[in-house]
């Protein structure tokens, strides 16, 4: 196990930000911490990094107890913080070189590593630029480069794609997978479930400092009763027809908003055919029929009753 967190508890005054959190991260995983704003993701990470003091709990990284002076552990960790943490007075190259230099003291090795990091994050055209001349997306890329240049075995990324354009975002996600392929273990926090769904192998869902569910995507989705969601457009459906839809086997919920009808089914297969058959049978004209597998948001919604993004 790369990371082992047991019964972590952290308070801010009267607020319990992290409440008896336990989980572990295996080597080579992309482990996702998913939860709404204020659920304790960043706090948990900062505790793991020994930046925050905590009331109780054990944190082990690489099998050893994590402490502020555990330099042997720290040298193999890379961090990409939520805020862009760089020096405005230093250029892109200089920033990466500076932070890499806190880990790698040999100049030659470092030079190679910095060049690789620049190539990796696609910042080659901007290497001499000062941060104030970079767009939001580029700054995020710089932020990442500064955190991973020294090729750490374990990387923490805390909401790295906030306020980033789609192009940069995709590049970042690709990059993270490339890092995994290089052999790093990744801990990734976000409140964007699409990202987490895309790249994470295992996910922990946090709400108000507590773990509400852990597992792979599939495992999480299996936890809930929802199998599929179906929507279509239709006009003037009668109440009997709606009730008829709801009576179909497997259908758990039918909602009508204007001309959009949405249904939820327990089953993953078969519901769509039954619905289409019913509509044909009833001679209901429909449009835009659409089916969707449950998302993590649905998981979160069912477990906590809230949306991931408020």
Partner 1 sequence: MQVFKVSFKVLKRNAASLLIYVGIFLGLSILFASNSSEQEQGYTSFEPIKVPITVFVEEDTPLVQGLLTHLKKSAVLLPLEDTTNQIGDALYFRVTTYVLRIPEGFTEAFLQGAALSLEKETLPDAVTSIYQDLAIERYFHTARLYQEAFEDLEEEELVQLTLETLGQETPITLTREASQRPSSYTRFYFNYMSYSLVSILVLGTSIVMLLWKEEGLYQRTEISPLKRSSIHLQKFLALGVFALLAFFLLSGAYFFLHPQATWDQQTKLHILNAFFLTVTSLGMSFFIGTLLKSRNAITAVSNVVALGPSFISGVFVPQQFLGEGVLAIAKLTPTYYYVTANERIAAMGDTLDASIWPLMGMLLLFGLVFYVLSFYLGRKETKTIWKG
Partner 2 sequence: MFRHIFSYRFKKLLRTKEMIFWTLAFPILLSIFFHMAFQNLDAAETFQTIPTGVLADEAYEDHAFLKEVLLEVSKGSTPLLQVFEGSQEELARLLEEGTIRGYLTAGDPISLTVRGTGMSENILRLFLEELNEQAHVMKTVQEKDPASVPRLLTAIEESSALLVEKEKDTAAPSQILNYFYSLIAMACMYGAFFGSDEITDIEAHISSRAARIQVAPLHKLKAFLSSSLASYVVLMINTSLLLLFLRFVLGIDFGPRVGYLILTTFMGTFTGLTFGAFISTLVKKNENMKSAVIVAVTMAGSFLSGMMYAPMKYIVYDKAPVVFYLNPVNLITDSFFSLYYYSSFTRYAQNMGMLLLLSILFSLGSYTQLRRRRYASI
Please select the residue that binds partner 2; options are 37, 53, 219, 255, rule is CB under 8 A.
53
**Which positions ≥6 away from 165 have C-beta within 8 Å?**
135, 136, 137
**Which positions ≥6 away from 268 have C-beta within 8 Å?**
227, 228, 293
Helices 92-101, 107-120: crossing angle, 10 deg rounding: 130
* Nearest distance, CB of residue 46 and partner 2, angstroms: 6
Q: State the Cα–Cα distance between residues 52 and 31, nearest whole angstrom.
A: 21
| Positions in 107-146 near partner 1 (CB under 8 A) | 131-132, 139
How many Cα atoms occupy the beta-carbon half-sphere of 158 within 13 Å? Answer: 20
Q: Which CB atom, from 4 or from 94, has the smaller least distance to partner 1?
A: 94
* Nearest distance, CB of residue 143 and partner 1, angstroms: 11
Coil, strand or helix at 96: helix
Q: Which of these segments, 48-56, 83-91, 98-106, 289-297, binds partner 1 (CB under 8 A)? A: 83-91
Q: Which CB atom, from 88 or from 166, has the smaller least distance to partner 1?
A: 88
Q: Burial-class residue 99 by CB neighbours within 10 Å (0-12, 13-18, 19+).
A: buried
**Which positions ≥6 away from 174 have C-beta within 8 Å?**
none
Q: State the Cα–Cα distance between residues 201 and 184, nearest whole angstrom.
A: 13
Please select the residue that binds partner 2; options are 6, 24, 60, 75, rule is CB under 8 A.
75
| Positions in 83-142 near partner 2 (CB under 8 A) | 83-87, 89-90, 94, 98-99, 101-103, 105
Residue 223, both tokens: 């936890």
> What's 14's DSSP letter?
T
**Is 84 one of the binding residues for partner 1 (CB under 8 A)?**
yes
Q: Which CB atom, from 73 or from 139, has the smaller least distance to partner 1?
A: 139
* Nearest distance, CB of residue 75 and partner 1, angstroms: 27
Please select the residue that binds partner 1; options are 14, 71, 83, 283, rule is CB under 8 A.
83
Q: State the Cα–Cα distance between residues 152 and 17, nearest whole angstrom.
A: 28
Of partner 1, partner 2, none, which one does residue 87 interact with (CB within 5 to 8 Å by kind)?
partner 2
Of partner 2, partner 1, none, which one does residue 79 interact with (CB within 5 to 8 Å by kind)?
partner 2
Of partner 1, partner 2, none, which one does residue 90 interact with (CB within 5 to 8 Å by kind)?
partner 2
Q: Which CB atom, from 81 or from 205, has the smaller least distance to partner 1?
A: 81
Residues that bind partner 1 (CB under 8 A): 83-84, 88, 131-132, 139
């Amino acid at each position: 196990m790369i990371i082992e967190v047991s019964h972590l508890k952290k308070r801010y005054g009267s607020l319990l930000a992290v409440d008896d959190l336990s989980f572990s991260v295996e080597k080579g995983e992309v482990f996702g911490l998913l939860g709404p704003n204020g659920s304790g993701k960043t706090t948990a990470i900062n505790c793991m990094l020994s930046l925050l003091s905590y009331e109780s709990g054990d944190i082990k990284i690489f099998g050893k107890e994590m402490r502020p002076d555990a330099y042997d552990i720290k040298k193999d960790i890379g961090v990409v913080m939520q805020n862009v943490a760089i020096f405005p007075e230093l250029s892109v190259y200089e920033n990466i070189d500076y932070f890499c230099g806190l880990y790698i003291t040999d100049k030659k090795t470092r030079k190679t590593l910095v060049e690789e990091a620049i190539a990796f994050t696609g910042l080659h055209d901007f290497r001499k630029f000062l941060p104030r001349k970079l767009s939001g997306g580029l700054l995020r890329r710089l932020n990442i480069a500064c955190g991973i240049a020294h090729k750490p075995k374990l990387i923490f990324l805390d909401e790295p794609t906030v306020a980033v354009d789609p192009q940069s975002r995709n590049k970042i996600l690709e990059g993270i997978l490339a890092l995994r392929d290089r052999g790093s273990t990744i801990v990734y926090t976000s409140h964007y479930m699409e990202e987490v769904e895309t790249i994470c192998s295992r996910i922990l869902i946090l709400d108000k400092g507590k773990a509400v569910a852990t597992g792979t995507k599939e495992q999480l989705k299996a936890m809930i009763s929802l199998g599929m969601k179906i929507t279509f457009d239709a006009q003037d459906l009668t109440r009997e027809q709606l009730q008829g839809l709801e009576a179909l086997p497997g259908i758990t919920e039918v909602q009508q908003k204007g001309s959009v009808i949405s249904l939820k089914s327990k089953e993953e297969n078969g519901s769509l055919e039954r619905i289409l058959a019913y509509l044909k049978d009833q001679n209901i004209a429909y449009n835009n029929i659409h089916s969707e597998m449950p998302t993590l948001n649905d998981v979160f919604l069912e477990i906590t009753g809230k949306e991931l993004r408020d």
